[in-house]
Structure 1
Amino acid sequence: MSDWRLLITRALPGADTQACELRRLGYHAAVLPLVAIEPLAETPEQQAQLSQLGTYRALLVVSQPAARLLLARLAATGRRPPAEPVFAVGAGTAAVLQEQGIDALWPASGEDSEALLAMPALHARLARSAGRVLIVRGQGGREVLAKGLHSHGASVDYLELYRRACPALEGAALLQRIQAERLNALVVSSGQGFEHLRAVAAEHWPALARLALFVPSERVAGLAKAAGARHVFVCAGAGTAALAERLAVSAAP
Structure 2
Amino acid sequence: MPELPAVVITRPRAQAGELAAAVAALGRRPVLLPLLEIAPLPDQTNLKAVLAGLAGYALVAFVSPNAIDAAFSHIVAWPPGVALAVLGEGSRAALLAHGVSDANARIASPGPDAASDSESLLRTLDLGALAGQQVLIVRGESGRELMADGFAAAGAIVTTVAAYQRRVPRMCAELAATLHGVLAAPNDWIVTSSEALRGLVALVEQLDGMSVSKLQQQHWIVPHARIAETARALGLARVTLTGSGDVRLLAALQS
What range is the shorter-chain TM-score in?
0.7 to 0.9
Once the two structures are superposed, the pairs formed by residues 90-101 of structure 1 within 5 Å of their partners are 90-101=88-99
Code of the residue aligned with 1:80 in structure 2: it is: A
CA 1:172 to 1:13, structure 2 compared with 1: closer, same or farther past 3 Å?
A: closer
C-alpha separation in 1, matches of 2:37 and 2:130 = 39
2:104 maps to which residue? none
Once the two structures are superposed, the pairs formed by residues 66-81 of structure 1 within 5 Å of their partners are 66-74=67-75, 79-81=76-78
2:180 is the counterpart of 1:176: yes
C-alpha separation in 2, matches of 1:73 and 1:175 = 37
C-alpha separation in 2, matches of 1:141 and 1:68 = 17
2:107 is the counterpart of 1:110: no
Q: 1:156 aligns with which of 152, 155, 158?
A: 158
2:107 is the counterpart of 1:132: no
Code of the residue aligned with 1:89 in structure 2: it is: L
**Which residues of structure 1 form unaligned runs of 5+?**
none
2:189 is the counterpart of 1:186: yes
CA 1:43 to 1:179, structure 2 compared with 1: closer, same or farther past 3 Å?
A: closer
C-alpha separation in 2, matches of 1:210 and 1:6 = 14
1:233 maps to which residue? 240
Aligned 8 A contact 2:86 2:108 in 1: yes
Q: What is the Cα deviation at residue 147 of structure 1?
A: 1.6
Instruction: Tell me the alpha carbon deviations over residues 164-215 of structure 1, each in whole angstroms, 9 at most, x when there is no partner.
Output: 12212367524432157x6611122211111111111115321122211122
**Which residues of structure 2 form unaligned runs of 5+?**
102-106
2:218 is the counterpart of 1:211: yes
Q: What is the Cα deviation at residue 128 of structure 1?
A: 5.4
Number of corresponding residues: 239
C-alpha separation in 1, matches of 2:152 and 2:110 = 19
Code of the residue aligned with 2:220 in structure 1: it is: L
- The TM-score, its normalising length taken from structure 2, stands at 0.84
Aligned 8 A contact 2:224 2:241 in 1: yes
CA 1:44 to 1:184, structure 2 compared with 1: closer, same or farther past 3 Å?
A: closer
C-alpha separation in 2, matches of 1:146 and 1:130 = 14
C-alpha separation in 2, matches of 1:39 and 1:90 = 22
Q: What is the Cα deviation at residue 216 of structure 1?
A: 2.9
Aligned 8 A contact 2:183 2:215 in 1: no
C-alpha separation in 2, matches of 1:41 and 1:11 = 19
CA 1:63 to 1:4, structure 2 compared with 1: closer, same or farther past 3 Å?
A: farther
CA 1:48 to 1:228, structure 2 compared with 1: closer, same or farther past 3 Å?
A: same
Q: What is the Cα deviation at residue 135 of structure 1?
A: 0.9
Instruction: Tell me the alpha carbon deviations over residues 12-59 of structure 1, each in whole angstroms, 9 at most, x when there is no partner.
Output: 210122211332344432111111111103444322211111211211
Aligned 8 A contact 2:7 2:23 in 1: no
Aligned 8 A contact 2:148 2:160 in 1: no
- The TM-score, its normalising length taken from structure 1, stands at 0.84
Instruction: Tell me the alpha carbon deviations over residues 134-183 of structure 1, each in whole angstroms, 9 at most, x when there is no partner.
Output: 11110121311112112211122112111112212367524432157x66
Q: 1:88 aligns with which of 86, 89, 97?
A: 86
SS at 2:73 equivalent:
helix
Code of the residue aligned with 1:240 in structure 2: it is: D
Code of the residue aligned with 1:113 in structure 2: it is: S
Q: What is the root-mean-square deviation in Å for CA atoms of aligned residues? A: 2.4
C-alpha separation in 1, matches of 2:164 and 2:12 = 12
- 4+ residue runs over 4 A deviation: none
